[in-house]
């Protein structure tokens, strides 16, 4: 009798999965790594319809997200990280039934360009190291001085978190005196607006004559 009861309970559990196991949290677009400044969508399904769900990371809670008639929600998240690389776990919890939860992991990389040597004549060759450029296959630097624009292709980034190392001359030896802005991003053409180039790193270089 005990044996038969155990089998029946097992069949019932398979036929009627719990609401918690049906919930899911996914990230769009799906990537192995995201650069700091990128925005993603957190997509939840299987939550209580016409209610809210709250997404948390560690001790941080984001504003509740409204669910539709199907128990789904869509929340936008902008990722930020100053240094290094981090894998974060985001958990969505149903505000009506706290047993309904789902989690997703996101790997974030800071966006950083290193230039060496840091000082010297304008025409010097620089060792360029870059990371976090996850928005395109190619890294560019845009050299801006006043209304002058020069777009230099540095090469294809590698790895999930968009890394590159190369040696290039960014300014000519006879560069005119003035202040130059170097903007590194993954676009062929320059756009100085952060909302259009959220994944970028910038330098200013002052050329003087003694």
Which domains does the chain show, CATH number per domain? 19-109 (2.60.40.1930), 112-207 (2.60.40.10)
Q: What is the pLDDT of residue 3?
A: 30
pLDDT tens by residue, 83-113: 999 999 999 999 999 999 999 999 999 999 9
pTM for this model (two decimals):
0.84
pLDDT tens by residue, 7-63: 233 333 333 334 445 899 999 999 999 999 999 999 999 999 999 999 999 989 999
Q: What share of the chain is helix, strand, coil (3-state, %, to 5)?
A: 10, 50, 45
The side-by-side arrangement of strands in the sheet containing 148-156 is 148-156, 138-145, 178-185, 201-207
Instruction: Place 75 in a pLDDT band, splitting at 50, 70 and 90.
Output: very high
């Amino acid at each position: 009798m005990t044996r038969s009861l155990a089998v029946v309970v097992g069949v019932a559990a398979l036929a009627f999965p719990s609401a918690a196991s049906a919930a899911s949290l996914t990230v769009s677009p799906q990537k192995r790594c995201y650069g700091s400044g990128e925005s993603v969508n957190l997509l939840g399904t299987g939550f209580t319809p016409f209610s809210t769900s709250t997404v948390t990371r560690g001790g941080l809670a984001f504003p509740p997200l409204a669910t539709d008639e199907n128990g789904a929600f869509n929340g936008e998240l902008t990722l930020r990280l100053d240094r290094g690389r981090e894998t974060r776990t985001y958990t969505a919890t149903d505000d009506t039934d706290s047993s309904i939860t789902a989690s997703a992991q996101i790997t974030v990389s800071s966006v950083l360009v290193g230039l060496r040597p840091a000082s010297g004549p304008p025409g010097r060759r620089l060792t360029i190291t870059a990371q976090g450029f996850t928005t395109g296959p190619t890294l560019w630097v845009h050299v801006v001085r006043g209304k002058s624009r020069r777009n230099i292709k540095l090469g294809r980034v590698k790895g999930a978190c968009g890394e590159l190392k190369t040696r290039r001359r960014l300014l000519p030896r006879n560069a005119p005196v003035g202040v130059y802005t170097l903007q590194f991003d993954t676009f062929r053409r320059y756009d100085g607006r952060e909302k259009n180039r959220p994944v970028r790193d910038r330098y200013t270089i002052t050329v003087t004559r003694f």
